[in-house]
A and B are shown apart, each in its own frame.
Chain A
């Protein structure tokens, strides 16, 4: 699994430009001898059919947050905007990488007094001497993502884009463990696009697939660090979180109950989650067509939207176990 995490987390795939990470996931799907489809917006879907049974859409987004070039200065520096929630306070000195492997460094203008840094005061330095040299490497509209290695210390693993490549890993590992089993439910595993810019891929995937239930697999914020900026009891290493609510969805009580029942029955640790800020694909799925009862399985994650997101590998293992058992459940 470590290899899989490494392959997905080092893949390039900002919102709207998911082709490289999609190709990496397709490689894994092919290894599992599964077939797949790709829809109009680029969502990647693996269908596990059952003779009869409820249709469940399990969605993990494969896009990551990124930076998009908006302007190239005369002196060769690149101005950019954000694709998803880039925290401006952390940018100075970071490295970012473009689709073709070109690396840039983020610089910051002088910031007066106690003003908070803002994206507009930053630029990407790709080492170009002037506009012409920069234009030879980069175009307006090109996107970059954080450039960071994967690092593991004990049970803790840190990388860029664990949000939500770790969710993709959970789906792929679940697919692998379900193997040739005949399931009591029909499952669509969807690796969705453009979640970070407004749950866009999941919206169209759910419309096309018409599921009876929706389940998002994504990361969630924790409150187990010194002076966290909001109150939550969710912590690393205490098991997957079963979402009750976030800003985009109030999970269907029937779905959360089933998730908790399965976890309890199988002895899988879990934590209930109320996320005050942030949303997942479940937000888009549950409002599709006439409504889709939905829930979400969350992997606790520190430092979300930085190049050093951190998860606990036991939580990942337990998330796979919970998803696997959930899809084997006859109680949907």
Chain B
């Protein structure tokens, strides 16, 4: 699991350009599933057939895209202006290494004006994306030839193995979720399950849960579960705003979540003695769950989250046990999804 997480954290797949990371993911899932297909927007759908005759359809998804950068303008001196694909905080960007996907793949870094040279006014203003630029070190004419406007870039960061089960790196939001889906598929080899299972590595979550919009339409599930990350605890955080690291997956409740699906997730965690936590979200969650719920005629939806520190930075930190327990909870939940459960969901 460590190896898989490291491997896909190191692969680049910014929103809209998930093909490369998708190939690695597809290969890794293939031993545990019956069929793989990609839909028109590039969602990878891993199908595992259920035992029943009138099997209910269960969709579980985690997004494989990561936030990234896209070139908006090539300055005359060869520096590149950019905007973000998804929600980067400009404060986290100065000094980062990047991989730029132009006509060639090129290394670069994010340049900025140094504190020594800032005016008082600029100091108070804080870092803004429009002040930053990509620097490849290449002469302007080479940059103009090799890196057209619209080229994307991913943050480059080596995966870190920290103490105990802590792992840190880029794109763990939500590659950690993808690994938990894989863990689920693996675990399900030990179970008979009635439900037809669709594990989906979705695209373009970070720019507005777009992959989940179309994959839910295509699969038309009876139940949908999104797996994403949530804020892990850190010094200075309010207790009610964060979840604890290494205390298991977080089960969300709220209007985005079908109460019986949320209850069942909690019950399964208790039955199998899996560590777990609870969380509430008042509106549509910032995850694929928001898209799933309002697809087609409406889909009973659940959300499981893996606690993660430093979201949307290159040092996103997770605990491997949380990733594993999320996968196990998904597997045990899947094993219990049958016709009766699905029919019960209609009785609110």
A233 and B74 within 8 A (CB):
yes
Distance (Å) between the CB of B183 and the closest chain A CB? 27
Contact status B70-A290, CB under 8 Å: no
Residue A99 at the chain B interface, CB threshold 8 Å: no
CA distance A329 to B217 in the complex (A): 30
Q: Decide if B40 touches A290 in the complex (CB within 8 Å).
A: yes
Interface size class of A (residues with CB under 8 A): 20 to 34
- Among A252, A276, A286, point to the contact of B72 (Cβ < 8 A): A276
| A287 close to B150 (CB less than 8 A) | no
Q: Does A82 contact B (CB under 8 A)?
A: no
Q: How far is the CB of B244 from chain A (nearest CB, A)?
A: 35
* B15, B40, B214, B217 pick with most chain A CB within 10 angstroms: B40
Q: Please pick, from B73, B207, B214, the residue contacting A290 in the complex, using a CB distance under 8 A.
A: B214
Cβ-defined contact, B217 with A290, below 8 A = yes
Q: Is A233 a contact of B39 with CB atoms below 8 Å? A: no
Q: Are B210 and A287 in contact (CB under 8 A)?
A: yes
A49 to B217 Cα, complex, angstroms: 27
The minimal Cβ–Cβ distance linking A292 to chain B, given in whole angstroms, is 6
Partner of B73, one of A233, A256, A292: A233
B39 touches A274 (CB 8 A): no
Question: Besides the contacts A231-B72, A250-B207, A287-B210, what 5 more A-B pairs have beta carbons closer than 8 Å?
Answer: A253-B16, A274-B150, A289-B214, A290-B39, A290-B215
Within A232-273, which residues are at the interface with B (CB < 8 Å)? 232-233, 244-245, 250-253, 256, 271-273
Are the CB atoms of A293 and B41 closer together than 8 Å?
A: yes
- Tell me which of A245, A273, A274, A291 contacts B214 (CB under 8 A): A291
| CB of B204 within 8 Å of the partner chain | yes
Contact A292 B40 (CB under 8 A): yes
- Contact A223 B40, CB 8 Å, known A244-B149, A272-B150, A287-B210: no
Q: Point out the residues of chain B lying under 8 angstroms from A273, CB to CB.
A: 149-150
What are 20 of the A-B contact pairs (CB < 8 Å)? A231-B73, A232-B149, A233-B73, A244-B149, A250-B16, A250-B204, A251-B16, A252-B41, A256-B150, A273-B149, A274-B83, A286-B41, A287-B210, A287-B214, A288-B214, A289-B218, A291-B40, A291-B215, A291-B217, A293-B40
Task: Verify if B17 is at the interface (C-beta below 8 Å from A).
Answer: yes
Q: Measured between alpha carbons, how far is A272 from B73 in the docked complex, in Å?
A: 10
Distance of A168 from chain B, by nearest CB (Å): 26
Given contacts A287-B214, A291-B214, contact A245 B70 (CB under 8 A): yes
A271 to B71, CA, bound (A): 13
Q: Which of chain B's residues have a CB closer than 8 A to the CB of A232?
A: 72-73, 149
| Cross-chain contact A223 with B70 (CB below 8 angstroms) | no
Q: How far is the CA of A287 from the CA of B72 in the complex (A)?
A: 24
Chain A residues lying within 8 Å of B85, measured Cβ to Cβ, are 245, 250
A246 to chain B, nearest CB (A): 11
Per the bound structure, the CA–CA distance linking A115 and B15 in Å amounts to 39
Which residues of A are found within 8 Å of B74, using beta-carbon distances?
A: 233
Bound CA–CA A271/B72 (angstroms):
11
Which of chain B's residues 1-41 have a Cβ closer than 8 Å to chain A? Answer: 15-17, 39-41
Cβ contacts under 8 Å, A245 to chain B: 16, 70, 85, 150
B265-285: which have CB < 8 Å to A?
none
Residues of chain B contacted by A292 (CB below 8 angstroms)? 40
B154, chain A: closest CB distance, angstroms = 14
Chain B residues within an 8 Å CB radius of A251? 16
Chain A, 111-150, contact with B by CB distance < 8 Å: what is the 0/1 string? Answer: 0000000000000000000000000000000000000000
What distance in Å separates the Cβ of A5 from its nearest Cβ neighbour in chain B?
28
**Alpha-carbon separation in the docked complex, A289 to B43 (Å):** 13
